[in-house]
Amino acid sequence: MVYIIIGFNLVMMAPLVYGQAGAPNETIEVIGKSTKSGQGPTADRQTAIANGLNAAVGRAVLEMIPSDLLASRFDGVTALIDQQTETFVREYKVLSEKQTDTGYIVLIQAVIVRSDLKDAIDQAGLLTQEAPMPVLLFLITEQNVGETMPHFWWHAGGPHEKPFIVEVLAGEMQAKGYQIADHSMPAGEEFNAMNLNATSAANIGIQYHSDVVVTGEAIASMAKDTKITDLKTYKGTLTVRAYQTNTSAQIAISHASTVAVNTDDATGGKSVFSLLAKEVAEDLARQIAYHQQRPNEAIPAPIRVEVYGTDNLRSFVALRRALNTMSDVERMQIEALTPPTAILMVHFRGSAAEMVENLISLKPDTLNIQIDETSIDRVKVTLSP
């Protein structure tokens, strides 16, 4: 018989009775050892018993967790055994014991409550296999300040082009743990089109071995000149849609608009794109993560939110952020945006009235909003500066 000894400084002074009556149990025999402490044989005996009970729980864990997973979760497993050993031991008895010149040895028969141990392992997430983050491919057209036409990379000479919006958006998502597909090789000639439907986008994604393909349009332009200084104001919009490569199913949609100031057109456009990428990445990551965690869970029917006054950009951004912070909002997407109006489709687990109540309670200082109308599945709001 092979005995596994896991030593921890846990002292138990008397036989223990734990666990639930009738729960599936396992009887394990192990040897517990201790070294001479100078506190006398009684203390050394209790330490040997404690180490033996640790070893018994460790034996049970070894039978419940695959070895490869145990290696990657070793710190968590040992911490669980160390902190909660006594809660998993229903009872024990010392079958044999011996005092030696170097310490104490006991042979213990312990009854382990496997059901309690499994519950604790599950609650600690020790058996959860972390799925690898999906590989993303970005198929986003870019039109910067002063450019008359948008450009894109998925054509014969495209891999040598590096649209700035693709670089910064990929960087934002990579920082969140997502993998980015390598598209250094040219795509097939059949994909030489700027506007892609879901099927075409998914086919390109397959060619570049990605799990999720993100299409979209990024536009930056000059908003107005500043009369007093050399600073100029630039505006931009970014709209993206994410599709599961293997099914072509849309799993996310996000839109952002912003402004920035600069003295140089090219730099001003890049500043706008950087701000857009940061905002969209937050929303995109949230929606993709939700889909990864609950791929088969039905999403609640959307509530139509008609927004007036979207030219009040600060309030519009604050409204979207407030909705995204609600725990019962599963997904939010922009169905239409033509300032000064917009339509948001909010998948909320509850009624429109409950969503409005949550919105009012979460309302930040930057959100000036008036609720005009609320029905079963529709809300009308007006934003003000």
Q: What pLDDT, on a 0 to 100 scale, did the predictor assign at position 72?
A: 67
Question: What pLDDT score does 8 carry?
Answer: 33
Report pLDDT digits (tens) over 347-369: 888 888 888 888 887 766 667 88
- Angle CA(196)–CA(201)–CA(206) in degrees, nearest 5? 160
**Which region among 11-15, 134-138, 156-160, 170-174 has the lowest average model confidence (pLDDT)?**
11-15
**pLDDT tens column, 234-278:** 889 998 989 999 988 888 878 888 888 888 888 888 999 999 999
Predicted confidence at residue 4, as pLDDT, reads: 35
Q: Is the pLDDT of residue 126 over 80?
A: no
pLDDT at 142 over 90: yes
pLDDT value of position 227: 57
pLDDT in tens, 297-343: 556 778 899 999 877 777 888 888 888 778 778 777 777 777 788 88
- Tokens describing residue 67: 């070895």
Q: What is the pTM of this model?
A: 0.52
DSSP secondary structure letter of residue 102: S
Count of beta carbons in the 10 Å neighbourhood of residue 190: 9
Beta bridge partners of residue 254, listed in sequence order: 240
Tens digits of per-residue pLDDT, 175-217? 888 999 988 877 766 677 788 888 999 999 998 999 999 999 9
% of the chain with per-residue pLDDT over 70: 83
SS3 315: helix
Cα–Cα distance between 250 and 252 in angstroms, integer?
6
- Residue identified by tokens 């025999």 is 29
Residue labelled with tokens 């599950």: 122
Q: Is the pLDDT of residue 11 over 60?
A: no
- Give me the pLDDT at residue 94, please: 93
Give ∠ CA 141-145-151 in degrees, rounded to 5: 25
Domains plus CATH for the chain? Answer: 25-124 (3.30.1660.40), 131-297 (3.40.50.10610), 299-385 (3.30.1360)
134 cis-preceded (ω within 30 degrees of 0): no
Average pLDDT, the chain: 80
56-98 pLDDT per residue, tens: 888 888 777 766 667 766 777 777 777 777 888 889 999 999 9
**How far is residue 131's CA from residue 276's CA, in Å, rounded to a whole number?**
28
pLDDT of residue 276: 92
pLDDT grade, residue 10 (50/70/90)? very low
What's CA 109's distance to the chain center, in Å? 44
**36: phi then psi, degrees, rounded to nearest 5:** -60, 125
What pLDDT, on the 0 to 100 scale, is given for residue 357? 87
What is the model's pLDDT at position 225?
Answer: 61
